[in-house]
Each structure stands twice: as C-alpha cells, then as structure tokens.
Amino acid sequence: MVDGIESVDSLIENAKVAGPRSLLHRLVKECSRSSGREALERTLREDSDQPIAAAAAHALGTIASAESMHLMLELLGHPTFAFEAVRYLARTDTDEAGDRLIDIALDIDEPLSEVAAIGAAWRGDRRVTSRLLDLVVEDFPQPMPAGRFLNLAAVHALTVLGDPAAVPRLADYLEKAADIAGLVEYRVAEAGDLSAEAELQRQQDIHRSIGATPPDSLAPGYDPEERRQRIIASATSEANQHIDALAEALRSFDDQAGRDAVAAVSSVLGRQLDPELFRPEDAVDLQPEDLAVAAWSLDLELGDPDHHGTRFGGQPTWRSSPTWPLSASGKPMAFWAQFEIPWEPEKTAYLFIDTTEEAWLDDLGDSAALFVQPGGTPAVPWVSDATGPEVPDGIQRDTKYLPVWPHSFTSRVPSLTPYYEPREWPDGHFQAESPLNKIGGTPLPIQREPQLPTPDYRFLFQFSADAAGFEFGDSAECYGYVDPDTGSGFFHWDCH
C-alpha cells in the first residue's frame, strides 16, 4: 500500500516513465487513503502531463470521496476531464452528488446528459427513467421508425434501474424491433450502390479520411451480391441483438405486461426469448438427453486460493504428478485456471498460456496448453515443477459505475450454478440466453466454430478473457475442449 504523499508522488513520477496505463492499474488499488487523495488532487490541479492528470482524475472518481467534490465540480467544464467528473458524481454517495447528476442528466442540451443518466441509473435514481427511455431511440437515423436502431447502453441502464414505469414504452420498442425484415431493408438501402465502382470510391474515401493512401483498385474477387448478403447477415444479427436486449430488460421488471410482450414477440419470431425454457427451477420433467445439455455458470467470485476444484489464479492443485508446460522459448507458461470436470469429478483440466508473446490466431498453438489429469499431459514440452508463474491480471475494470473489482485473481473460486441450455442455438440468435462464463452447455461462438483436432473432443468451458484478467483482442471469448479418452485439450479464442 501507499503510505503517504511522498509515496504517491513517487508513483506518479514513475508512471510518467512507464505510461499512464500503469498508473491507472495502481492508483485505483493503492491510493484510497486521505494522503493519497490529496496528492492526486494536487496532481490534477498542477500537472501539465495530460494523460497523467487524466489518470489522477479517474482515480479520484474511483475513490469517490466527498472531500473531492469542489474540485470535481470544477472539472465539469473541462473538455478532457468532464466525463471523469460525471463518473465521480455517479459513484459518490451523497445527496449533493446525486442531485447534480440529475441536473446534468435531464438537460438534453448537455453533452454528457446520456452519461449522467446512465450513472444515475446505477445509483438507482428513478428520476431518469423517462430520460433513458428517450435516449433509447433518440439517435434513430431518420426516417427509420422507432425500434430499428437502439441505444443499447440506455436499454441496459433501464434494466439495472428496474422501474416498472418503463414497461409500456419498452414493450412498444420490442414490438417494432421484431420487424427484422424492415431493418434488413433499411440497411440494404442505406448501403446504396454496391457496384465495384462505388465500392472502390467508398474505400478510397475511407482511406483519405484517416490519412492513408487510397487504393487504386479493389482486391480481386469483389462480388456485389456477396457484399449484399454480408449486409443482410449483419443487419439480422443487429436486429436480434436489439430484440434480446429489450426482452432482457422487460423480463427484469417482474411485470405481467412485460412478460406478455416478450411472449408475443417470441411467437412472432418463432424462437423462445425467455431463458426459463432452458433453466427450469423444477427439472423433474425435463429430459436433458433429449432436449438440453447441462451447464454450470461461472461467477468468478473471490474464494480460497488453495481450493482444489474449479479456480482461476493461484497455483494448480495437481491430480497426479506435476507437468508444468513450457513456452516456445523454453520458459514456464503462466497458470490461468483449473476446471473440475462436472461429469467426471475425479478429473481436472488445467489451462496455461504464454503471456510473453502476442498470439493473434484462432487457436494459440504452442502458446497455450490445456490438458486433463489424471491421464493427460501437455501437448508441448513440460517440466515436473509443481509451482510456477501465474497469469497477471492486466485488466482495468473500473471504467464504469460498478464497484471496483479486485485487482488479483489469486483467489477466484466461482460458485457453479447448474442450469440447462439447448443443444443448438437458433440461427441468427446473436445474444443467446446464456452466461458467457460457464462450464458445459453449448458453446456460443462470436464469429465461427473452431476446427477441433478430432470429433471426440467435448466442449468444457467458455469465459470472457477480460473477466479472467487477460484480454486477447476485442472482447475476446475463450473456449476449451477436452478429449475424455486421452486427456488432451484444445484451447482457442474468438473476438468481434
């Protein structure tokens, strides 16, 4: 921990060399004492290094001390730091902060009105319900009807807020959003001329807009009809994303009108929008072998770092002799997680990755190792060491209005909540009703299915990379498959 102003000042000076990202990771964790807060306030007032000052503003927003109110209110007029000031108001538990946040949220001419309204929703302040409902459809491209383009951040904020007064308008938005064909038609018309000449002009304009040299010709094989089909597929996914977000919001209110609206759209679409179809409280009459597959959600809660079952971080609990995998450079890989296999509880799968190199392929090849004990060994060289490096937690999670997440996964022991999923997800179901952190169930690929070594591999887990502390790409999802007979594993990731 940082003990005084001099220590915080030293940390800030070091960050000017290492970069503001390193400062963000440590200030949030270490500078909540009053002496650290005072040093941050002085840095924000006096430091000419804008990235460092921005990191200090963010840290003050995280600490959310009422003592910083005067300074943070001054920042509301600052072009760079105003967002951090609004975030501070959303996190600071005083009436003054809440009232000032509402003033900003309800002023439609205020550039940060949307941010403030969403922040107020996280505070549970229902004075912003109407404003959020307006924001859901405020930025529709005209003349596109309501329901064709949604502000999903506002929809999610309404879900968090849980005000039943939002149900009638959200139900109306859901009914309009169910017109998938209308959105597809709009997006195709919006794309305009798809001829090769028009596509070349479009790409040249894009390159010029970012200061790049425009191409002289299109890549070989451009097909206008293929481009049109891609637009249709994208619009269909977009429409399903809107539908799922609205259905989730309506279900959160425990209101019969909302449930009726979800059921009506489910009937129109021919697919079930209610996850209770796959998560019955009483599963006596459900035949999993016929209708669904068992799964267990991962909530990544804190727990015992020596837990013998499923766990992220810490050191592996070996089922048999240690087999610590080595990277291509010959150095030990970092331990990320172990997964007790629910259908074979006497077995555990172990996941290691090489954190020293950038791996931008679908499967990580020699940059990752997944295997099961007893019975399996890494597919890469290994040593008999029982302990070794851990995957570092490199994700800055405190960017929204939620409480600060712990900055170490040394003791992450998820509680495994059982439920059921369908064996196959419906076509076009962009955001299926399923956790993205889970063991078992049916995988939810972001873009495409992996090419498994053999058909014998069984899906074991899926989790979000950033939730587990090590991001590979744009909101990457991680997937693991194991061969029950050989103990071999296959790990890959996919992103947007």
Question: C-alpha 426: how far from its chain's center?
Answer: 22
Is residue 163 one of the residues assigned to a domain? no
Residue 28 in tokens = 């949030």
Is residue 339 one of the residues assigned to a domain? yes
With both helix axes pointing from N to C terminus, report the angle between 113-122 and 152-161 in degrees, rounded to the nearest 10: 30
Residues 223 and 335 reside in one and the same domain: no
Angle at 36 between CA 120 and CA 411, to 5 degrees: 75
Task: State pTM to two decimals.
Answer: 0.60
Is residue 200 one of the residues assigned to a domain? yes
Is residue 27 one of the residues assigned to a domain? yes
Residue 67 in tokens = 């003592």
Is residue 168 one of the residues assigned to a domain? no
Residue 415 in tokens = 């509680």
Q: How confident is the model at residue 293, as a pLDDT? A: 63
Q: What is the number of other CB atoms lying within 10 angstroms of the CB of residue 379?
A: 17
What distance in Å separates the CA atoms of residue 51 and residue 124, rounded to the nearest whole number? 32
Q: List the one residue out of 61, 73, 150, 79 whose CA is nearest residue 404.
A: 61
Convert the pLDDT of each residue in 165-198 to its tens digit: 999 999 988 888 888 888 888 888 888 999 999 9
Residues 329 and 344 reside in one and the same domain: yes
Is residue 140 one of the residues assigned to a domain? no
Residues 435 and 293 reside in one and the same domain: yes
Q: Are the C-beta atoms of residues 125 and 94 closer than 8 Å to each other?
A: no
Q: Which domain holds residue 213?
A: 175-273
Residues 422 and 444 reside in one and the same domain: yes
Residues 337 and 484 reside in one and the same domain: yes
Q: How confident is the model at residue 301, as a pLDDT? A: 62
CATH of the domain at 328: 2.30.320.10
Over pLDDT 90: what percentage of the chain? 25
Residues 334 and 442 reside in one and the same domain: yes
Is residue 152 one of the residues assigned to a domain? no
Q: Is 298 left (phi over 0), alpha (psi -120 to 50) or beta?
A: beta
Residues 263 and 286 reside in one and the same domain: no
What does each of the 496 residues of the chain score in pLDDT, given as a tens digit?
Answer: 344 444 556 666 655 554 544 454 455 445 545 567 787 888 888 766 677 788 788 878 878 889 999 999 999 988 888 988 998 999 898 999 999 999 999 998 898 998 899 999 988 999 999 999 988 875 444 444 434 456 788 888 898 888 999 999 999 888 888 888 888 888 888 889 999 999 999 889 988 888 888 889 988 888 999 889 988 888 887 788 888 888 888 888 878 888 899 889 888 888 777 554 334 333 334 344 444 566 776 666 666 677 788 888 889 999 999 999 998 888 899 999 999 998 898 999 999 998 875 544 444 567 899 999 999 999 999 999 999 998 876 655 555 555 444 444 455 677 777 777 777 765 544 444 455 788 888 888 877 778 888 889 999 999 888 777 777 766 788 899 999 999 999 998 877 6
Q: Are the C-beta atoms of residues 436 and 461 closer than 8 Å to each other?
A: no
Q: How confident is the model at residue 258, as a pLDDT? A: 87
- Residue 422 bridge partners (DSSP): 292
CATH of the domain at 66: 1.25.10.10
Residues 423 and 485 reside in one and the same domain: yes
Is residue 148 one of the residues assigned to a domain? no
Residue type, 378: P
Q: List the one residue out of 337, 393, 401 whose CA is nearest residue 370.
A: 337
Q: What is the number of other CB atoms lying within 10 angstroms of the CB of residue 468?
A: 22
With both helix axes pointing from N to C terminus, report the angle between 95-105 and 82-91 in degrees, rounded to the nearest 10: 130
Boundary residue ending a domain (215, 250, 273): 273
Residues 372 and 352 reside in one and the same domain: yes
Residues 19 and 84 reside in one and the same domain: yes
The torsion angles phi and psi of 10, rounded to 5 degrees, stand at -65, -40
b/e sequence 147-168, b meaning 16+ C-beta within 10 Å: bbbbbbbbbbbbbbbbbeebbe
Cis before residue 378, ω within 30 degrees of 0?
A: no
Q: List the one residue out of 446, 419, 442 whose CA is nearest residue 430.
A: 446
Q: Which residues contact 438 (CB under 8 A, 6 or more apart)?
A: 295, 296, 297, 298, 461, 462, 463
Boundary residue ending a domain (123, 152, 167): 123
Residues 494 and 393 reside in one and the same domain: yes
Residues 109 and 47 reside in one and the same domain: yes
Q: Which residues contact 82 (CB under 8 A, 6 or more apart)?
A: 75, 76, 111, 112
Q: How confident is the model at residue 132, as a pLDDT? A: 92
Q: List the one residue out of 478, 464, 455 whose CA is nearest residue 395.
A: 464
Boundary residue ending a domain (273, 296, 316): 273
Q: How many domains does the chain have?
A: 3
Q: Which residues contact 109 (CB under 8 A, 6 or more apart)?
A: none
